[in-house]
Amino acid sequence: MKKYTIALIALTLVLILVSFCTLWFGENIFQTILALMPLYFAVITGLMHYGVVKSFYKDPRTFVKNFLGITVGSLFLHLCVLFIWSLTHIHTAKVFIIGFCICYAAYLAFETVALILVVRQARNDRDKQS
């Protein structure tokens, strides 16, 4: 879990730096909220990973059910954020949605790789014990 946390913080810092660079060198279409968006995704992704890994080690038989429930819940949360932002900030909704989708794709790929590594490690540990 320590390696995951360090990698999550590193990804978040890189995305924040990229966001601030686009804010600094870009035009006025970029907003400060785009630079802070990776923090939102870091918190949600970290909580998701913690819940999924905890359920995996607690009872591997219910892992798929818990994983799908947590994934659908986070997706619903993301869609609610997108919908509310699009309604309240109509003029900047396109830029926000593009930035949101980029962050979502980056953190989704990161979380997928992290879960694959956790499951592989657990499977290798079980094979060594047998």
For 74-125, what is each residue's pLDDT tens digit? 999 999 999 999 999 888 888 888 889 999 999 999 999 998 898 888 888 8
Is pTM, for the whole model, over 0.85? Answer: no
What's the confidence (pLDDT) of residue 23? 67
- The CB-side HSE value for 15 (13 A sphere, CA atoms) comes to 26
pLDDT at 130: 66
Tell whether the model's pLDDT for residue 1 goes beyond 80. Answer: no
Per-residue pLDDT tens for 14-37?
A: 988 888 777 666 655 556 777 788
Tell whether the model's pLDDT for residue 126 goes beyond 70: yes
User: Is the separation of the CB atoms in 55 and 63 below 8 Å?
Assistant: yes
CB 19 within 8 A of CB 34: yes
Q: Above 90 in pLDDT, residue 43? A: yes
Q: What is the pLDDT of residue 41?
A: 93
Q: What is the pLDDT of residue 29?
A: 54
- Going by C-alpha positions, the residue among 127, 86, 85, 113 that lies closest to residue 11 is 113
